[in-house]
A and B are shown apart, each in its own frame.
Chain A
Amino acid sequence: MKIESWLKSNTFHHSAFWDLNALVEEKQKQDLKISLCIPTLNEEKTIGKEIVIFKSELMQRYPLLDEIAVIDSDSSDQTREVASAFGAQVFLSKDILKKYGEKRGKGENLWKAIYQLEGDILVYIDADIKNIHPRFVYGLVAPLIYRPEIHYVKAFYDRPLASSQGSRPSGGGRVTEILIRPLFSLFFPELTALIQPLSGEYAVRRQVLDKIPFPIGYGVETSHLIDVYHRWGLQAIAQTDLDRRVHRNQHTRDLGKMAFGILQTFLKRVEALGILSNLPELSTTLRQFQVNNNLFEEIPLKIIEEERPPMIEIPEYRKKFAHA
Chain B
Amino acid sequence: MADVSSEQENRVADSFEEILTMLPFIKEASQALREILLANLVMIGEIPSPTFEEDRRVEFIQNRFVEAGLHNASADEMGNALGILPGTTGEQNILVVARVDTVHPLSLDHTITLRPQSATGPGVGDNALGVAVVVTLPILLELLDLELQSNLVLMGASRSLGRGDLEGLRFFLSNTEIPISVGIGVEGFPLGQLSHDSIGMYRGEIVCTVPEEYDWTRFGATGAIVTINEVINQIQEIRLPRRPRSTIVLGSIMGGQAYNTIATNAVLRFEIRTESEQIGEEIFHQMEAIISDVSSQTGADISLDVFARRRPGGIHYRHPLARATRRIMSALDIQPRKSPSTSELSAFIGYDIPAITIGITYGERQNTPEEEIIIEPIFTGLAQLTGVLLAIDRGFCSEN
Give the residues in chain B near A310, CB-CB below 8 Å: none
A85 engages B116 (CB within 8 Å): yes
B43 engages A133 (CB within 8 Å): yes
By beta carbon, the residue of chain B nearest A21 is B67
Give the residues in chain A near B67, CB-CB below 8 Å: 61
* Cβ of A284 under 8 Å from chain B: no
Give the residues in chain A near B46, CB-CB below 8 Å: 131
Give the residues in chain A near B42, CB-CB below 8 Å: 49, 52-53, 132
Give the residues in chain B near A78, CB-CB below 8 Å: 115
A82 engages B35 (CB within 8 Å): no
* Cβ of A60 under 8 Å from chain B: yes
* Cβ of B276 under 8 Å from chain A: no
- Which of B112, B113, B116 lies in contact with A81, CB distance below 8 A? B116
- Which of A56, A131, A246 lies in contact with B38, CB distance below 8 A? A56
Binary interface encoding of chain B residues 34-48 relative to chain A, with 1 for a CB under 8 A from any of its CBs, else 0: 011011101100100
* Cβ of B111 under 8 Å from chain A: yes
Q: A53-B43, A85-B116, A133-B43 are in contact. Are A60 and B111 (CB under 8 A)?
A: no
A131 engages B111 (CB within 8 Å): yes
B36 engages A56 (CB within 8 Å): yes
By beta carbon, the residue of chain B nearest A47 is B114
Q: A131-B46, A131-B111, A246-B111 are in contact. Are A53 and B39 (CB under 8 A)?
A: yes
Q: How many residues of B contact A (CB 8 A)?
A: 15
Report the minimum CB–CB distance from B374 to chain A (whole Å): 14
B36 engages A48 (CB within 8 Å): no
* Cβ of A173 under 8 Å from chain B: no
A86 engages B39 (CB within 8 Å): no
* Cβ of A55 under 8 Å from chain B: yes
Give the residues in chain A near B35, CB-CB below 8 Å: 52, 55-56, 60, 86-87
- CA of A81 to CA of B115 in the docked complex: distance in angstroms? 10
**From B67, B112, B115, residue with most partner A Cβ within 10 Å:** B115
A52 engages B116 (CB within 8 Å): no
Report the minimum CB–CB distance from A163 to chain B (whole Å): 19
The residues in A between 37 and 76 inclusive whose CB is less than 8 angstroms from any CB of B are: 44-46, 48-49, 52-53, 55-57, 60-61
**From B40, B43, B111, B114, residue with most partner A Cβ within 10 Å:** B114
- CA of A55 to CA of B37 in the docked complex: distance in angstroms? 11
**From A52, A130, A246, residue with most partner B Cβ within 10 Å:** A52
B114 engages A52 (CB within 8 Å): yes
By beta carbon, the residue of chain A nearest B36 is A56
What are 10 of the A-B contact pairs (CB < 8 Å)? A44-B115, A48-B115, A49-B114, A52-B35, A56-B35, A56-B40, A57-B39, A60-B36, A61-B36, A82-B116
Give 15 A-B pairs besides A53-B39, A56-B36 with Cβ atoms closer than 8 angstroms: A44-B115, A48-B113, A48-B114, A48-B115, A49-B112, A52-B35, A52-B42, A52-B114, A53-B43, A56-B35, A56-B40, A57-B39, A85-B116, A130-B111, A131-B111
10 A-B pairs closest in CB distance: A56-B39, A85-B116, A48-B114, A56-B35, A49-B114, A56-B36, A52-B38, A53-B39, A130-B111, A55-B35
